[in-house]
Amino acid sequence: MVVTLDTNVLFEALYSKWGASYQILRLIRHGEIGMAISVPLFQEYRDVLSRSESRRQLRLDEASVEVILQFVATVGRPTDISYSWRPNLKDEADNMVVELAVGSRSEYLITSNVRDFTEGADLKNDDLKIVTPKQFMQEWRRSHGK
């Protein structure tokens, strides 16, 4: 199974080891699920995690951010994006995440802002489930008996 993580999920996973986002990152680290990555999304991860405010909130220095980004680059499954189709969401960054999810054939796009991807959106893709980290973990546990 391959999933696409919105930037907020990666941030939340690094912020607290008690939430569903952290559990998803653990599943990725242990190879139980795959993580789709593209150059644009990797750059967004870098931009967000490198901000001084983000580093302060996460209690990370620049070297630690680089280690995290190396982890993402190592475990992520690179996907080239085809721009023949545009999701046409309000936020261009959200378009980029949907394009990756569709291009990588992710089963789930995991985000803490489901409404950003569904409200007023013209997404018609029955193969992609847009869920919160908590919803994903509930489905994961149900289907894997954990």
84 vs 96, more confident: 96
pLDDT (tens digit per residue) in 27-38 = 999 999 999 999
pLDDT (tens digit per residue) in 39-78 = 999 999 999 999 999 999 999 999 999 999 999 999 999 9
| 17: phi then psi, degrees, rounded to nearest 5 | -85, 10
Tell me the pLDDT band of 88, cut-offs 50, 70 and 90.
Answer: low
Please give the Cα distance from 85 to 65 (Å, whole number). Answer: 33
- Give the start-to-end residue ranges of the domains of the chain: 2-144
Q: What integer best gives the mean pLDDT of the chain?
A: 88
Q: Which fold has domain 2-144?
A: Rossmann fold (3.40.50)
pLDDT at 50: 97
Q: What is the b/e burial string over 38-54, where b = at least 16 CB atoms within 10 angstroms of the residue's CB?
A: bebbbebbeebbeeeeb
